[in-house]
Structure 1
């Protein structure tokens, strides 16, 4: 593998047999583990959170809807109740007796006004008989009471803090917060709230205050028919607050649960915290006719207790599920990445030359196929190494043989020359000529180690061989060589024409040789584009279809094998050497018919020099 190392401050690549360790975050195991976790834990967590959120939103919407409906009913009841109080004030404002009382400045007239006022307020009292008492106060401080006994020591009503500041010429009405009644001789500590309205005389020259007291339980009795508790499940602490525009608490009396500054913004808040730290959820409704704000409050932790139980249940489901998904993801990641890491380990051993290491896991999936491919690759590498070893061994043997063959060439030449001299002495010219021709062929075969030679030299070897057979046969062989000089100067593999000519003589012409006929051989050549074609044609016995088919098959597929192991040194040897030198596109093609001879065509590339030098 390639490893980056620093040398002289520069980074260079070096090859190492042992693969470098892969960082954990880049490993297949880590990537698979993260992928499995994301595919399992994220959807599960999102499902739990969405379930919790949806249930919480559903409960909140239902609470707001039901509570708003109840508050709307309370608002209508309150509006109806206040309308009755307004009607009581309007009756008082139009009464002559009330007008006279407001204008009165004499104490005796003040005392005489009680009887007509009693008649007026007896009728007014019927409208809301649950009132705790009616008080009429004029500007001179005279006080008239109906329904209770006045404590004159505390009759300074304009000095009470709960009396609202009303505009001078306004007939506005206000509801006061809860307060005690020191001005009453009966139960002065009783908590009441009051309806306060400014009333005027008929001529509008005098004014006073109309105060109608109501006990605290009046508001509770007004809202008991529709309770907020019906809209909330469980035992949630709930309550109702009624405030005016200034944030004053009208109902219930301030018990110190909430801070006064928080009560001023109830219509703009969604939550409120009491002095003990408890959080309450708010649902508000403003009565547009009276300007009062009705607020329902619900203790949030108890309100959402069912939601919290659902949330906790979701957590208890998600957490074990996450743990299970983590274990499964770890197992699957290890199951997939383990064999790959083992295969990486084996590849490192093979890289160090240990070719006995094979993938032994029995799997039928893609990893198993990858292991089988690895084993096949290792086997092929071992075969190639063995083949290279055998080729090198054969090459060394051939070189030794070639060196040994160089020892005796001069001895052979001298021996042939001695035989030639003896033939001439005994006047045997044909024997002498054959020895001369044989010597040329022998010298050509062992005098040079060049693989590529000019085509003209190949033709010379073939001519020497044919001249030898001219002497051997009773009737000389007729042959012709028709090749241009351009082709003769090109280069080709050594010894490719002579073996084909020899095959034509021995297997084509010898069977028909006689005193009358010895046969004919033609050698031709031509050029086509970048190829050179040489053709050897004999007019001998030829081949039948079966033999021709077998020869063509051997030439195409088995020439190299038969040359190496079948000891074939004829045209199969020529085919094998041409393809080894020039490739599969070049070689021999044959054509023949019985008693019509054989035609062998050689296709060669156009070479202008010995490229092997």
Structure 2
């Protein structure tokens, strides 16, 4: 037989209070950790958003400065074109002599030098005439270039085409070098330029005849936005439509292809996204400049934000640690107080398991533990009541056994006596006495043949047939008896001698003087129950007596043989000492309060129903526990 197995480990962690505290602390740590992570993520997003807003304002200011710078160059280029010498140089119908051309170019270069010296953001100025070639220079170098091959290559460049298409407006080109305009510059002297190009014509010409180029040093442009920029805070640069860096806070990156570009599907002029550079996360912020198709780009290391957040996190960790200590202390004492009723319940249950029955709680809280304690009180008291009831049942069984022993008769003596009476009756030819003695012998045979308290339904019906035969000798065959039982039900086991007292009760109190009576037995199954109905055609029960009888049968009252003390119990058979009460009590002692006798209301006669559990014969029949229910 399997039983409960107790674990060999009895550590403190098995105590419910400890488990609850550990669980509560674990949940608190998980929740606080998750909250810290979410707060970190939220703060990082918030700082990134604020950084975007700050950069947006900064980009707007840079865009405004660049726009003003380009506007100034545009104004200066227009002013430069108004010079008479410049107008003369760009005219397509050149009628000057060679000496006049030399003087003209000298005057123009003086004009260029004057502009460069007065405006520091102008690095160099070049005029490329369709007829006269290239002229220009910077503060230290002069270029007079009339090579047709070079001018033809310039007139085929994209910058020239854009300037021609944008006439008379100024176009801005990035990624240019000094050597592009002056082939005599190379090596370390070569620098990066931002070119502002426009197609020009003489005042009285209808078509463009030259190209005017104002160049700015890329470093000057970079200084407008990188002067206050700390390199540790990330790079800032400008890329053109091809993704080439044309200006940047890091000079080494100028002219290279940018690894980060605005998303191709983005149409917004401002935005950001996250990327990785050298294994470190960065934020890329971009802004479209208004005077060109250039984008201002900014690489912001997210580590800068983390440093700001870490200071807040340190405070949070301190608060977190203090909170855990407070929660631990409060939860320890609170949970200990909350589960105290459970500890008391466990102690009480151990007392019950040691045999201390009937223990109860007096101080019951008004919560779920209180409900459990009340159920425990009910269970403890019900165990005491159940033991008392079982003891009472055993005592009643003992009394029944004693009564049975008191009425035991030596079977050999009884059989010999009956046999002698039968032969004496045969000698005087008293056949009715012979038949009566034979029937009586058949009745007594099962009494002495087996000590089993159970018998088959077939044996019980055979016993009733012999009993009716004897009764009919007395009442001149006025008792008609029949039964309706399916053959497969005859093998069901029932308590022995439970039908004869019911039949006897019908004959004695249902039969009118001088009249006959019909008695029938019907048997049917209902689930795991067997129902036996004893029906007679007698006088029946009046309603009040039937209700009283059913109430006493349901209560399991015992039979009391003193008829005078209970004159309202006509079913008591003082001759045999067995009646309806005793049959009902026997059944309930065997099978419980759900089984027994009941007297239903019928239109005519009387009916007594007997409810029994279906049982079949088992190999051993000397104990009631050995019987098993029918399948």
**Interval of TM-score (by shorter of Structure 1 and Structure 2):** 0.5 to 0.7
Quick one: structure 1 residues 113 and 379, their matched pair in 2 at CA, closer, same or farther if it must change by over 3 Å?
A: same
Aligned partner of 2:370 among 344, 365, 368: 365
Aligned partner of 2:100 among 83, 94, 109: 109
List aligned pairs for 1:209-608, cutoff 5 A. Answer: 210-213=213-216, 216=219, 220=223, 237=233, 240-252=236-248, 254-256=250-252, 263=258, 265-268=260-263, 270=273, 280-310=282-312, 364-369=369-374, 371-372=376-377, 375=380, 378-379=383-384, 382-383=387-388, 386=391, 389-390=394-395, 393-394=398-399, 396-398=401-403, 400-404=405-409, 406=411, 409=414, 447=444, 453-454=463-464, 457=467, 483=478, 485-486=480-481, 493-494=499-500, 521=513, 525-526=517-518, 531-533=534-536, 535=538, 557=555, 559-560=557-558, 562=560, 571-572=571-572, 573-580=578-585, 584-586=596-598, 603-604=607-608
Q: Distance in 1 between matches of 2:234 and 2:296?
A: 13
Partner of 2:59: 71
Secondary structure of the 1:290 match is: coil
CA distances 1:20-58 after superposition (whole Å, capped 9, x unpaired): 8799xxx99899999979986776665554444334333
Q: Distance in 2 between matches of 1:64 and 1:548?
A: 96
Q: How far does residue 396 in structure 1 lie from its aligned partner after superposition?
A: 5.0
CA contact (8 A) 2:125 2:136 kept: yes
Q: Distance in 1 between matches of 2:484 and 2:194?
A: 137
Q: Distance in 2 between matches of 1:380 and 1:565?
A: 31
Q: Distance in 2 between matches of 1:37 and 1:339?
A: 21
Q: Distance in 2 between matches of 1:168 and 1:552?
A: 122
Partner of 2:125: 135
CA distances 1:263-303 after superposition (whole Å, capped 9, x unpaired): 3534347357777x765423211225323321234342223
Q: How far does residue 17 in structure 1 lie from its aligned partner after superposition?
A: 3.5
CA distances 1:367-411 after superposition (whole Å, capped 9, x unpaired): 435544654565466456645654664465455445455476589
Q: How far does residue 523 in structure 1 lie from its aligned partner after superposition?
A: 6.0
List gaps (5 residues or longer) in structure 1.
Answer: 1-14, 230-234, 418-435, 465-479, 505-519, 538-544, 590-600
Quick one: structure 1 residues 449 and 63, their matched pair in 2 at CA, closer, same or farther if it must change by over 3 Å?
A: same
Partner of 2:427: none
Q: How far does residue 98 in structure 1 lie from its aligned partner after superposition?
A: 2.3
CA distances 1:145-184 after superposition (whole Å, capped 9, x unpaired): 58x4547899x9x99xxxx965555535424579899999
Q: Distance in 2 between matches of 1:17 and 1:131?
A: 98
Secondary structure of the 2:85 match is: helix
CA distances 1:40-77 after superposition (whole Å, capped 9, x unpaired): 67766655544443343333333323422331332233
List gaps (5 residues or longer) in structure 2.
Answer: 164-170, 264-271, 423-432, 448-459, 486-496, 523-532, 573-577, 588-594, 611-615, 622-631
CA contact (8 A) 1:194 1:214 kept: yes
TM value normalised by structure 1: 0.55
Higher RCO (CA 8 Å, separation ≥ 6 residues):
1
Secondary structure of the 2:579 match is: helix
Q: How many residues align?
A: 501
List aligned pairs for 1:85-164, cutoff 5 A. Answer: 85-92=73-80, 97-98=85-86, 100-101=88-89, 108-113=99-104, 117=108, 129-132=119-122, 134-136=124-126, 143-144=135-136, 148=139, 150=141
Partner of 1:197: 197
Secondary structure of the 1:267 match is: coil
Q: What's the Cα RMSD here? A: 6.9
1:16 aligns with 2:2: yes
Larger CA Rg, structure 1 vs 2: 1
CA contact (8 A) 2:479 2:516 kept: no
1:53 aligns with 2:48: no
Secondary structure of the 2:291 match is: coil
Q: Distance in 2 between matches of 1:241 and 1:138?
A: 30
